[in-house]
Structures are given as C-alpha cells and as structure tokens.
C-alpha cells in the first residue's frame, strides 16, 4: 500500500507510468488493502477545486479496477465496474444522459477505487432499510474478516429499494442543501427517487472520512449502475439513500 502511494506521489514520475507500475504489482495478487484516491470531497465540492486529476483510461489499463468518482468540472458521475467505465451527466433539459469517453481523455476530479482481482459473495438474508445500510455493510465485512477501520471497496448486485440518487451538474446538491444555497438552473443536478430498481452498486466504506471520501452522516460513498427502461442505456448516479431486498448479493474484497 505504501509503495503504491509513494509511486503516485513521486513528482518526477509520469502519472500514467506510476499507475502502470502500481497496478501491475497489485493486479497479479489478492487485494492487499490498497486504495487508489485522487482529490477529496471538500476540495472538489467545498473549495471548487474541480480540475481533472487523473485520466480514467490510465486507471483501467490493468484489469479489475473498481471506483466511484466525479467528472472534472463536477460535470457528472463516474462508476468503474471491473474496468468498464460508466459516466452520466445532465443535459440542457435536466435529463440524465450517458457521457462517452471514446478518445480516453475524460478525467476525474475526485476518485476513490481499488484493484480487486477476486471477491467473496454474501447473500442479504432479509430486507435492509435505508437507515441500516451502512451498518449492514460494516457488520458483513467484519464477519468476513475485513478490517473495517480502514477504507475498503464493496459492490452489490440485485434489487434495491427506496433509492434516492443524484447526478451532479456543476455543483453538489447535498452541499447546496447543507449550506442553504439556491443553485442556478445551469448547475441544478438530476435527482430521482426510485421505489425499486435492479442494478449494481459500487462503493467504498470509510469510517470517519467525512469531507474526504464521504458526505456527512454516512460512512459510505456509493454509486448505482442501472439500465434505462426506455433506451436500454447504462446510467449511473450517486446514492443518497438505498435499501436492500432479501437475496441481494454483497461482494467484498478477497
């Protein structure tokens, strides 16, 4: 973990080479706890330091990368699922729209992820409410032998309930609500409440990381990937609340 951080912070080493050296070392063995992070929430959102910090195409050169991120300029949400990059933004009509990265130049301003070659699977035994989500992740991880004192990636598949999500569009709605800021039309996010949806969650659990990795009052930073019922396109958004249906599958780093 320290080797990876040192490589990424070496000023004379090109970032693409540092990422390649780091990921080559870790993609060939079980996950060792290493978290890849660029930027922090308070920088990108609170201080408007939302410049691009890392190319997404550099991060997925080695296999099995998973991450949640915000697009540079706070222009959308990014979720990376086993090297597959899904980006969603907000169009001029306020509707959710996919964003492509065909030329590999898209950058994240804030990102947290990990290279995880293999996972353990854990079935959700009964419905988990939105209020119990964080605790369920912590308890399940602890039971599986994951050290919950340190940040770790997780993902889930199945049906999710009582979902509240947003996609940023130049500003974060959670920050705006907390600061009582009335966002102008050109910065208003896409927001949606969904009673039930089938899809995939990718997230990080991080204790005492408010302002760095998580929003206030939560220990998780989670994104949802789901299919648009009309177009069939994959969309993603930042989860504010989510419940779990019985039978959903939690996957933890092996």
Q: For position 43, which CATH number holds?
A: 3.30.1330
Average the pLDDT over 111-133 and give the result: 97
pLDDT recorded at residue 23: 44
Residues 42 and 144 grouped into a single domain? no
Q: Provide the domain count of the chain.
A: 2
pLDDT in tens, 20-53: 445 444 444 678 889 999 999 999 998 989 999 9
- Write down the pTM of the prediction: 0.88
What pLDDT is stored for residue 6 in this prediction? 44
CA dihedral 223, 225, 230, 232 (to 10 degrees): 160
Task: Taking each helix axis as running N to C, give the angle between helix 2-9 and helix 15-27, from 0 to 180 degrees, rounded to the nearest 10.
Answer: 170
Q: How does residue 107 score in pLDDT terms, banded at 50, 70 and 90?
A: very high
Domain that holds residue 111: 2-115
The strand pair at 220-227 and 190-205 is best described as: antiparallel
- What is the CATH number for 134? 3.30.1330.80
**Same domain as 149, residue 180:** yes
Closest CA to 237 of 226, 251, 250: 226
Average pLDDT, the chain: 90
Helix (H, G, I), strand (E, B) or coil at 118: coil
- pLDDT tens string 204-230: 999 999 999 999 999 999 999 999 988
In the prediction, which pLDDT does 7 show? 45
Q: Are residues 21 and 131 in the same domain?
A: no
The answer to whether residues 208 and 170 touch, using CB atoms and an 8 Å cutoff, is no
Query: Do 155 and 101 fall within a single domain?
Result: no
Q: Domain ends where: 115, 132, 163?
A: 115
Same domain for 147 and 218, yes or no, is yes
Q: Based on the fold, state whether residues 136 and 249 are members of the same structural domain.
A: yes
Do 196 and 104 lie in a common domain? no
**Pair (83, 153) in one structural domain:** no
């Amino acid at each position: 973990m320290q080797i990876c951080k040192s490589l990424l912070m070496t000023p004379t080493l090109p970032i693409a080479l540092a990422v390649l050296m780091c990921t080559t070392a870790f993609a060939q063995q079980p996950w060792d706890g290493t978290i890849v992070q660029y930027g922090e929430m308070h920088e990108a959102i609170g201080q408007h330091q939302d410049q691009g910090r890392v190319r997404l195409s550099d991060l997925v050169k080695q296999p099995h990368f998973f991450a949640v991120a915000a697009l540079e300029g706070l222009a959308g949400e990014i979720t990376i699922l086993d090297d597959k990059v899904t980006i969603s933004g907000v169009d001029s009509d306020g509707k959710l729209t996919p964003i492509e990265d065909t030329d590999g130049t898209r950058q994240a301003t804030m990102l947290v992820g990990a290279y995880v070659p293999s996972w353990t699977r854990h079935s959700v035994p009964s419905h988990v409410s939105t209020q119990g989500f964080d605790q369920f992740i912590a308890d399940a991880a602890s039971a599986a032998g994951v050290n919950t004192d340190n940040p770790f990636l997780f993902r889930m598949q199945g049906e999710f309930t009582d979902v509240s999500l947003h996609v940023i569009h130049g500003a974060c709605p959670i920050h705006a609500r907390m600061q009582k800021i009335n966002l102008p039309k050109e910065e208003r996010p896409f927001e949606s409440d969904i009673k039930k949806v089938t899809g995939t969650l990718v997230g990080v659990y991080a204790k005492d990381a408010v302002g760095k990795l998580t929003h206030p009052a939560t220990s998780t930073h989670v994104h949802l990937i789901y299919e648009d019922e009309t177009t069939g396109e994959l969309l993603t958004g930042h989860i504010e609340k989510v419940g779990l249906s019985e039978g959903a599958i939690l996957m933890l780093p092996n």
